[in-house]
Structure 1
Amino acid sequence: MPITARMSPDQLDAVLREALEANGQRFTEQRAAVYRVLRGTTDHPSADEVFTAVRGDITDISLATVYKALETLVSCSLAVKLTYGDGSARYDARTDDHYHSRCLVCGQVRDVPGEPHEVLPHIDAGAGFQVRGYRVEVVGLCQACA
């Protein structure tokens, strides 16, 4: 089932179940809750933010379980882990090639609109290099921090 912007919880669960089973993992309600939180936001949350959101539905879930669920989603290509030099990480359910802007003060991460091939000029990665995707981040100050 192709992933679309607006999917019902049942459709999201079906996508999750299929991806987990294809990667030798099992479907759990905790993983489903974490996936629904990620798919339901464009804010690129940290693991702590996902934990807080999921606790609204599953009160006894642990932070360790959320971390494990996020890493499982990343390993099944259902999410992307955005890591930074300071050791922090944020998660994105959009797995297509796209760019981000990140505020150096508050850490907010947002999607940059536009198609990757329209935003940047052609990059020569070297003879024989086969480009498989892009990871570009624009850093600066968001409107609130500027």
Structure 2
Amino acid sequence: MNPLDAPTHGMTPEELRRALEARGHRFTAQRAAVYRVLSGTTAHPTADDVFTCVREHIPDISLATVYKALEAFVTCGVARKLSLGAGPARYDGRTDEHEHIRCLSCGRVQDIEGLRPRDWMQGLSEMTPFDVVGYRLELEGYCPDCLH
């Protein structure tokens, strides 16, 4: 299946256009293709991964264009940039609250559903003078493929 035709869990092209333009970014066919790949996967791809996939369908797209598109999405709040471990940044088309687990051997990143650290965040105001506005939780371990 063509990943640019795959169903996504993200925004429609018109919603993406509005989100980009609201933050001063242009909506282009290349950005739409990058977003379609990102929102159509749960693999948390690197920019190189996205580039490789989009390039199969838009051969003249540059890696710089992919990087700029991904950073525009992060700026607009339609994607997350995950700086996990020592490897390259990964991108997530899901912007809802969820956590990740990363394999220490192969680097695979997977979403974790149902873990709700926000519940314990309520008591943080008693423990620190900070106004806590968010958190980042990354679990580490070994995926089933690397255990065998």
How many angstroms apart in 2 are the aligned matches of 1:115 and 1:83? 20
Change in Cα spacing, 1:7 to 1:53, as seen in structure 2 (3 Å) is closer
Letter in 2 for 1:131: V
Query: What's the TM-score, normalizing by structure 2?
Result: 0.83
Aligned pair count?
139
Match for residue 129 of structure 1? 130
Whether the 8 Å CA contact 2:9–2:40 is kept in 1: the answer is no
Residue 85 of structure 1: how far off its partner (Å) = 4.2
Match for residue 105 of structure 1? 105
Q: Residue 116 of structure 1: SS of its match in structure 2? A: coil
Residue 41 of structure 1: how far off its partner (Å) = 0.5
How many angstroms apart in 2 are the aligned matches of 1:121 and 1:23? 33
Q: Residue 146 of structure 2: SS of its match in structure 1? A: coil
Q: Percent identity?
A: 55
Whether the 8 Å CA contact 2:9–2:39 is kept in 1: the answer is no
Q: Residue 42 of structure 1: SS of its match in structure 2? A: coil
Superposed, which structure 2 residues align to 1:31-110 within 5 Å?
A: 31-110=31-110
Deviates more, 1:129-138 or 1:32-41: 129-138
Whether the 8 Å CA contact 2:100–2:111 is kept in 1: the answer is yes
List alignment gaps of at least 5 residues for structure 2.
1-6
How many angstroms apart in 1 are the aligned matches of 2:42 and 2:34? 14
How many angstroms apart in 2 are the aligned matches of 1:20 and 1:121? 34
Residue 18 of structure 1: how far off its partner (Å) = 0.5
Residue 7 of structure 1: how far off its partner (Å) = 5.7
Whether the 8 Å CA contact 1:98–1:134 is kept in 2: the answer is no
Q: Residue 145 of structure 1: SS of its match in structure 2? A: helix
**Deviations 1:78-113 (Å, cap 9, x if unpaired)?**
111001342511000111221000001111000011
Match for residue 145 of structure 1? 146
List alignment gaps of at least 5 residues for structure 1.
1-5
Q: Residue 111 of structure 1: SS of its match in structure 2? A: strand
The RMSD of aligned alpha carbons is: 2.2
How many angstroms apart in 2 are the aligned matches of 1:98 and 1:25? 27
Match for residue 30 of structure 1? 30
Q: Residue 144 of structure 1: SS of its match in structure 2? A: helix
Whether the 8 Å CA contact 1:104–1:141 is kept in 2: the answer is yes
